[in-house]
Structure 1
Amino acid sequence: MVFYVVAFFFALALAYVLTPLLRKIALKFEILDHPVPAIKIHPKPVPYLGGLAIWLAFIVTLLGVRLLTSFPTGTLRNLRGIFYGGTLIMVLGLIDDIWRLDYRVKLFGQFIASIILILYNIRIEFISSLPLSIFLTIFWVVGITNAVNIIDIMDGLAAGVVVIAGLAFSFIALPTEKIYVNFAALALAGSCLGFLRYNWRPARIFMGDSGSLFIGFILAAISLGESYTTINNIGLFAPFLVLGIPIYDTLLVIFFRILKGKSIFAGSRDHFAFRLEAMGYNRKKVVLINYYLTAILGLAAFLITTVKFELAVIIYAAIIAFAILYATRLIYVKVE
């Protein structure tokens, strides 16, 4: 337990120190995110490389934990998979931040990173059919990786949501001693929290795709490492709640873009956050609303892993009903 707390605060401190250093490097080499009308709404260019700070803090923390503790063979294997796959994702994102990559190249890289996780025994295990398990694992990892990338549209939004989601996964995994889940979740949460100090509005640095894709990938990998509950079978769907905000936003964006006849890969203001802003909330309140909702969903996910089937069904049904009803309201909100 002590090492879990140390991992969180060590990652936080590392990210807190590394982020301003990498900001200076980004400014020196002009690795900047330039405003784009309607989509990228910051008033002036903002340096990238925040994702590199998050990655470094995360990796160094896990390496430090490895040197100070003895892990079972299975845990070491899992952590290696996260290291190799996560590093590939970060490098692809970094290249995209600096030179731009075709989205198909990024998707292929995410596919390879998903395969790496599977090779290191991180996959959906409750499905007996191995081919189906592999297919759904790849779909889940690629989907969540991009879902977190999609919500990185306002200062502090993605980083804060991931801090809360990481803590939620660690609390859910704590009773069952899923070692790699706990260490990775807390290292990720700490890294993002240390970075958030500089990403809060007005942001002094962005994480870029190197950060948003990386933290999405790590969350996806973490979510696959927990059995969630032996009390009810539908506790298996708890990750959908913890990751509810990225998933909900992704589904909304896809729905609205299809409705408008646009490519789902095209940039637009069809996001949940932008629609909240159009309803009259300022940016700070929009981000805080996303934090509150993530915390509520994380708590609901934790409860679902501890209650009987009937109550779990009620919790799921209430959340799904609210999400659908609110989506019908968002349809009529004009964002362009």
Structure 2
Amino acid sequence: MIQYRQLIVTIVISFFITLILGPIVIPILHRLKVGQSIRDEGPKSHMTKSGTPTMGGLIMIAAILITAITSGLVNKDLFVVLFATLSFGLIGFIDDFIKVVLKRNLGLKAYQKLLGQIVIAVIIAFYQSSISVSGTKILIPFMNQYWDLGYFYVPYIAFVVVATANSVNLTDGLDGLAAGVTLIVSSFFSLVAMNWGYSSIAVFCGALTGACLGFLRFNAHPAKVFMGDTGSMALGGAVATIAILMNLTLLIPIVGGIYFAEALSVIIQVVSFKLTGKRVFRMSPLHHHYELKGWKETKVVAVFWSITLILCIVGLFGLSQ
């Protein structure tokens, strides 16, 4: 069983690998001219970010992969969560490549991304239902009881994975926002995994935490690089799979409440505009709404980080009942 010391060492190793890779990868991205294009309808303060290199998620993915594989705690669960991270990262990478290298603004078509995400999710669902001692059961927070989904388990897991990955993708709209929120969420899951005896998952969470922390060195305001869909999709796939392997999917809307709020704001905005012609928010996702209300970007990020920390504490209470 992994100890606190080993978890901290894992975080530190991933952190320093990210710090080392940043100055190597970012200049390469500059030379390749893979700069982020900014939407004209977005907050005007974001126009200065145009041209900032994207696809920086490659830095985090590399740090996570190196740290996890060399941890000495390699097993099937670790391979599954790495598979999810790399697969979703690949979908994001292809999308980024089409947009910033081939200069096709829309990237992958929606059905192409959705199909790929569902296939990956179904593979994860079948693995967990056949390997886990809990089978098709999921833990209900605050009740300390398991709910057996039976035949509904696979479609449920597919929904969780796709929803989480795309929610994290929507959260990645401000400097340091998605990386910081995921840093806190992965720290939460690392503590749970360690205390519950999921050693390989705890190591992966530690690697993820360290990578997010190191990436903030380059992604915090003012960002020198963006993670792009390469990073945000990889983070979303990782968070979802971590929760699935520990049967804690119902905790994602709690500890990942910011992800949930960002996605919900987009859904509400689209439905409201189509039905009534009116917008509920000044702009969606939610972080842009607060920017247009006059909040500085750094304030929005700090508040959303703080909310995530509080929600993770709530999540810990939900598991202690």
Between stretches 282-291 and 89-98, larger displacement belongs to: 89-98
Q: Name segments (4+ residues, structure 1) moved above 6 Å.
A: none
Task: Check the 8 A contact 2:84/2:241 in 1, yes or no.
Answer: no
Residue 28 of structure 2 corresponds to residue 29 of structure 1: no
Q: Which of 104, 113, 124 lines up with 2:120 in the alignment? A: 113
Specify which structure has the bigger relative contact order, considering alpha-carbon pairs within 8 angstroms and separated by 6 or more residues: 2
Task: Check the 8 A contact 2:171/2:178 in 1, yes or no.
Answer: yes
Task: Check the 8 A contact 1:3/1:65 in 2, yes or no.
Answer: no
Would the alpha carbon gap of residues 20 and 104 (structure 1) be closer, same or farther in structure 2, given more than 3 Å must change?
Answer: farther
Between stretches 134-143 and 41-50, larger displacement belongs to: 41-50
Residue equivalent to 1:90: 89
Would the alpha carbon gap of residues 18 and 290 (structure 1) be closer, same or farther in structure 2, given more than 3 Å must change?
Answer: same
CA distance in 2, matches of 1:116, 1:13: 32
Return the TM-score normalized by structure 1.
Answer: 0.81
Shift of 1:175: 2.0
Between stretches 34-43 and 285-294, larger displacement belongs to: 34-43
CA distance in 1, matches of 2:218, 2:136: 36
Shift of 1:131: 2.5
CA distance in 1, matches of 2:274, 2:136: 34
Q: Which of 34, 56, 60 lines up with 1:54 in the alignment? A: 60
Matched residue SS, 2:163: helix
Amino acid at match of 2:36: D
Note the residue ranges of structure 2 that are not aligned, 5 or more in a row.
Answer: 99-106, 130-134, 139-146, 276-281
Matched residue SS, 1:196: helix
Would the alpha carbon gap of residues 124 and 241 (structure 1) be closer, same or farther in structure 2, given more than 3 Å must change?
Answer: farther
CA distance in 1, matches of 2:247, 2:31: 46
Residue equivalent to 1:326: none
Would the alpha carbon gap of residues 188 and 124 (structure 1) be closer, same or farther in structure 2, given more than 3 Å must change?
Answer: farther
After superposition, the CA RMSD in angstroms is: 2.1
CA offset digits 1:19-44 (Å, max 9, x no partner): 22111111111111122212382413
Residue 10 of structure 2 corresponds to residue 7 of structure 1: yes
Residue equivalent to 1:290: 304
Amino acid at match of 1:94: F
CA offset digits 1:269-293 (Å, max 9, x no partner): 3222122223332110100000000
Task: Check the 8 A contact 1:80/1:120 in 2, yes or no.
Answer: no
Shift of 1:150: 0.4
Residue 134 of structure 2 corresponds to residue 131 of structure 1: no
Residue equivalent to 2:268: 255
CA distance in 1, matches of 2:22, 2:136: 34
Matched residue SS, 2:137: coil
Shift of 1:138: 0.6
CA distance in 1, matches of 2:244, 2:114: 20
Residue equivalent to 2:320: 306
Matched residue SS, 2:274: coil
CA distance in 2, matches of 1:300, 1:50: 32
Amino acid at match of 2:181: V
Would the alpha carbon gap of residues 124 and 297 (structure 1) be closer, same or farther in structure 2, given more than 3 Å must change?
Answer: farther
CA distance in 2, matches of 1:269, 1:124: 39
Q: Which of 127, 151, 164 lines up with 2:171 in the alignment? A: 151
Q: Which of 247, 250, 255 lines up with 1:242 in the alignment? A: 255
CA distance in 2, matches of 1:214, 1:186: 15
Return the TM-score normalized by structure 2.
Answer: 0.84
CA distance in 2, matches of 1:39, 1:194: 28
CA offset digits 1:234-261 (Å, max 9, x no partner): xx73332111110111112101111011
Shift of 1:129: 4.4
CA distance in 2, matches of 1:250, 1:129: 25
Amino acid at match of 2:77: N
Q: Percent identity, aligned pairs only?
A: 26
Shift of 1:219: 0.3
Residue equivalent to 2:193: 173
